[in-house]
Amino acid sequence: MTKIIKIPFSKGGLGKTEGCELGPDKIVSVLKGLGLNEKGYKAQFSFDLVDVDQNDIELTNSNIFSKVLDVVVSGGKNILLGGDHSITYSAFKAVAAKNPGCGLVIFDAHPDCENDFNPPTHEDFLKVLVNEGIVDPSRVILVGVRSWDGKEKEFLDSMKIRYFSMKQIKLTGVSEVCDTVTETIRGWNSVYVSIDIDCVDPAHAPGTGYCEPGGLSSRDLIYFLQRLRLLRNIKMIDLVEINPEKDVNGMTVVLGAKIVNEMG
């Protein structure tokens, strides 16, 4: 059984992600109505909730850390549902606390290395994790990048963080990039996978705050994640930035539920 931990927090997005707090409940509602996944069985889920305070980021971060730490100690398969991408900061810290050297694979249209705020936001959580020494930059892989500024690229290059832009993925092929990522992380003792829904092209996932054209198709993302799920060193998965208030015909929420069903 896979445990779903809902983290309905949207104040880590600098006012740009309000509505993401509705994502977890909407996704779970759709998830409960789904049938067999593509592996041919009915995934079983249990549910838990992080106590969040939209007016207190530091308290919320502390609550995320404590809840995820408890979940990691208990073991099993776990998926976190945000919320905005700032939740990954505290969640990854908790996983890394029990899994030293844990790697981080991020599906995202953006590198999230723009600023250096304290507490971290959805725009800079990766930069803070690296600068604080919580994650080794050689154990970070970004997939789907296509919207960034010069400072972010400079940071990635200076830290030798590996990234696959959408242009690279188009030229190389999704299957080949997936092969490379899978073979790279197979040797890591533990891996955290973070999925920002804006890695998907807005034609497939319009319900998010930052619609960046030229992204992965929903099929490509599902294929990639199905491959990663076969690895035994995946310790945690999160899915973030789904905003039902910006959705069209509920298609992004349904995609989120589909992703969870396939990863369960």
Q: How confident is the model at residue 118 (pLDDT cuts 50, 70, 90)?
A: confident
Residue 142 has pLDDT above 80, yes or no: yes
pLDDT at 136 over 90: yes
- Report pLDDT for 15: 74
Q: Is the confidence at residue 133, as pLDDT, over 80? A: yes
In this prediction, residues 249-260 reach a mean pLDDT of: 99
Note the pLDDT of residue 13: 83
At residue 110, the pLDDT reads: 96
CB contact at 8 A, 239 and 189: no
Measure the CA–CA gap between 27 and 109, rounded to whole angstroms: 21
- Could you give the 3-state DSSP secondary structure of residue 156? helix
Q: Tell me the percentage of the chain whose pLDDT exceeds 90.
A: 90
Checking if the pLDDT of 115 tops 90, the result is no
- Domains contained in the chain, CATH given: 2-263 (3.40.800.10)
Q: What secondary structure letter does DSSP report for 216?
A: B
**Residue of 214, 220, 210 lying closest to 243 (CA atoms):** 210
Rounded-to-integer distance, Cα 239 and Cα 133, Å: 23
**Cis-peptide into 213, omega within 30 deg:** no
Q: Using one digit for the tens of pLDDT, what is the confidence trace for 189-246?
A: 999 999 999 999 999 999 999 999 999 999 999 999 999 999 999 999 999 999 999 9
Exposed/middle/buried for residue 240 (C-beta within 10 Å: 0-12, 13-18, 19+): buried
Residue 32 CB neighbour total at 10 angstroms: 10
Q: For 42-75, how does the pLDDT look when each residue is reduced to its tens digit (9 = 90+)? A: 999 999 999 999 999 999 999 999 999 999 999 8
pTM of the model: 0.97
Cα(208)–Cα(20) distance, integer angstroms: 8
Looking at residue 28, its pLDDT comes to 99
Lowest mean pLDDT among 24-33, 111-120, 208-217, 231-240: 111-120
Per-residue pLDDT, 97: 98
What is the pLDDT, as a whole number, of residue 120? 86
Confidence of residue 14 (pLDDT cuts 50, 70, 90): confident
Which residue type does 245 have? E
Residue 149: pLDDT band (50, 70, 90) is: confident
Helix locations, 9-165, DSSP H: 23-31, 57-74, 87-98, 125-131, 150-158
CB 133 within 8 A of CB 127: no
Helices (H), the chain: 23-31, 57-74, 87-98, 125-131, 150-158, 166-172, 174-186, 218-229, 251-263
**Maximum distance among all alpha carbons in the chain?**
46
pLDDT tens digits for range 155-164: 999 999 999 9
